[in-house]
């Protein structure tokens, strides 16, 4: 004889504001006519803010993710914006893991704007419940952008009629506090 137990499953709406501090590395490479004109590598640090909006079904979480902020890179402030999607799993032991894909990201300097051609990256994280509802998150992200040289203060020797391409990549570790709210 088979006895089954049916459990009613429902989806909760997840809203999670995030504030954190990021440290990492910012690399740029400028290519003109298929050869490298210049490369640079700088450290970065700064405050970030954002949030997640999605659904939580039992222990599975998924939805949209936004992160913005101002990072200091070699003494210059850059405004960052990242929009992506995330998926996560909340363990019953006050811990969760999550990962995300960031198809849109940009960084703007104080005195220039570069036009983004493509961007992409990923993030992975681990969260711990401190005191309900406060979470401590440790997140690693790596974002790569490809730009066409527009109105920029980047010094580039023009050796041809081709506009140079600038590849910027940043990798950062973020320590953040968040408040996941489900209803």
Question: DSSP string covering 61-115, please?
Answer: EEEEEEEEEEEEETTEEEEEEEEEEEEEEEETTTEEEEEEEEEEEEEEESS---E
Q: Are 91 and 58 in contact (CB under 8 A)?
A: no
**Per CATH, domain 14-182 is 3.40.50:** no
**pLDDT reported for residue 119:** 79
Higher pLDDT, 116 or 15: 15
* Residue with the two structure tokens 């936004």: 66
Average of per-residue pLDDT across 21-39? 81
Q: Which of 65, 98, 78, 50 is nearest to 168 (CA)?
A: 78
The answer to whether residue 151 scores a pLDDT higher than 50 is no
67 sits in the region (left: phi over 0; alpha: psi -120 to 50; else beta) called beta
pTM: 0.82
**pLDDT reported for residue 158:** 41
CA distance 172 to 72: 12
**pLDDT reported for residue 29:** 83
Average of per-residue pLDDT across 86-103? 96
CA distance 134 to 132: 5
Tokens of 152: 């920029």
**pLDDT reported for residue 152:** 44
**pLDDT reported for residue 9:** 75
Q: Are 44 and 24 in contact (CB under 8 A)?
A: yes
CA distance 83 to 64: 7
The answer to whether residue 73 scores a pLDDT higher than 50 is yes
Tokens of 107: 């960084």
User: Residue 145's pLDDT band (boundaries 50, 70, 90)?
Assistant: confident
The answer to whether residue 39 scores a pLDDT higher than 90 is no
Average of per-residue pLDDT across 12-33? 91
Higher pLDDT, 140 or 160: 140
- Return the percentage of the chain with pLDDT > 90, whole number: 54
* Residue with the two structure tokens 């300097």: 109
Element (H, E) at 49: strand 35-57
Residue 109, Cα to own-chain centre: how many angstroms?
A: 17
Higher pLDDT, 19 or 168: 19
Average of per-residue pLDDT across 57-70? 96
């Amino acid at each position: 004889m088979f006895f089954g137990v049916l459990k009613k499953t429902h989806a909760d709406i997840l809203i999670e504001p995030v504030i954190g501090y990021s440290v990492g590395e910012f690399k740029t490479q400028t290519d003109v006519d298929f050869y490298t004109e210049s490369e640079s590598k700088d450290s970065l640090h700064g405050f970030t803010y954002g949030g997640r909006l999605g659904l939580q079904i039992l222990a599975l979480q998924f939805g949209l993710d936004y992160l913005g902020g101002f990072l200091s890179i070699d003494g210059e402030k850059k405004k960052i914006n990242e929009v992506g999607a995330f998926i996560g799993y909340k363990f019953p032991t006050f811990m969760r893991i999550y990962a995300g894909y960031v198809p849109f990201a940009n960084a703007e300097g104080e005195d220039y704007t570069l036009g983004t051609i493509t961007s992409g990256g990923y993030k992975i994280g681990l969260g711990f419940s401190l005191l309900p509802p406060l979470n401590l998150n440790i997140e690693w992200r790596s974002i790569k952008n490809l730009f066409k040289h527009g109105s920029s203060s980047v010094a580039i020797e023009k050796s041809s009629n081709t506009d140079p391409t600038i590849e910027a990549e940043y990798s950062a570790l973020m320590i953040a506090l968040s408040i996941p709210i489900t209803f």
